[in-house]
Amino acid sequence: MDNVSFGEKVYSAAKISAVLDALVAEGVSPVGAFGDADVSPDDLHSSSTRISRNQLIQCYRNAAALSRDPHLPYTIGSSVHLSAYGMYGYAMLCSTDFRRTMEFAVRYHQLATPLATIAFHERDRTGVWTIEPLLHPRIDPLLYRFVTELQIATHISLHRDIMGDSFKPREISLRYGVAKDFQITPALVGCPVRFDQATNQIEFDSAFLDAAPKLGNRTTYPSAIALCDDLIADLVSRSGAAGRVRSLLSTDVSERPSFAAVAKRLKTTPRTLRRQLRSQNTSFRELSDEFRVHAALRYLRETTMTMEDIAFALGFSDSANFRHAFRRWTGKAPQEFRREGAPAA
């Protein structure tokens, strides 16, 4: 988990614009598309507009409810091109080596309003992208599938931007089963689609990585990288005091430091730190709960730990207190969340 919360407005509105364009093409009202996401169509045309991941999630949810497109996430993702990513996209475009481009895309993925983690590796002359939506209470099974399929479509679109229209995957694997509301199909991607697999992956022939980028530029690429470093630094600075508090809290979830101890570590007073957090519409308790719920989700989805063991790992005195806190955080009991499981269709 990075140091930017789901509620902080630090990202460009490019992906919300893609959602809006897809819905408007269907005849859906822009007002209906945004719903209660607290952003308007006019905001999208301003370069100064910043959105949060929570707003993006809400727009995805609105889109899923309003659209009649059985391939909506793929439609949206396919409309995303390098130009939508500003300097992040430009740096990929002028890279002189496709394998370096893959490494860059992973390293600077935080600039793309990420709702998923991405990883890349090669095996047996096959390039493999692994995609996993982030752990968050609002990313339920439907949003899990939506984010996965949109990310897959975006990856394919960006590959074609830099490698040419001939690019196509060899195979796509999905962790969940076939759904009835929307889904990726072999006809869309031009390759087999495997459901109920261990991971979400895109596989393609490594021969695409061996080609020389036609738009690569050895002089421009380092400059673009430097500008992306500046953008990452700006993203971190926008997280402000809240980001610094998250960094300290992440060192030990079970024995979280007191508010006074955190203020001391940050070389400030509790009163000043409280005011700084309030200016970012958050508090020490909210940040602390944010980290504990993230850890709880990971324990519930990725381990077989008992409720008692999870409660202990998170610093609760007993499992009853943990269950009460988890319901307050997510609106669900931890057992329900574990049974539900994100990958389920």
The architecture that CATH gives domain 14-216 is: Alpha-Beta Complex (3.90)
Identify the CATH assignment for 240-340 out of 3.40.50.11600, 3.40.630.10, 1.10.10.60, 3.60.10.10. Answer: 1.10.10.60
Is the per-residue pLDDT at 73 higher than 50? yes
C-beta separation of 20 from 27 below 8 A: no
| Cβ atoms within 10 Å, residue 114 | 19
How far apart CA 214 and CA 198 sit, in angstroms, is: 36
Is the per-residue pLDDT at 163 higher than 90? yes
Is the per-residue pLDDT at 1 higher than 70? no
DSSP for residue 152 = H
How far apart CA 191 and CA 252 sit, in angstroms, is: 44
Domain extent listing, the chain: 14-216, 240-340
Of the pLDDT bands very low, low, confident and very high (cuts 50, 70, 90), residue 343 is low
Q: What is the pTM of this model?
A: 0.84
Name the pairing type of β-strands 193-194 and 171-173.
parallel
- Distant-in-sequence, close-in-space partners of 48: CB < 8 Å, separation ≥ 6: none
Of the pLDDT bands very low, low, confident and very high (cuts 50, 70, 90), residue 344 is very low
**Radius of gyration, CA atoms only, the chain:** 21
In the predicted model, what is the mean pLDDT of residues 299-303? 86
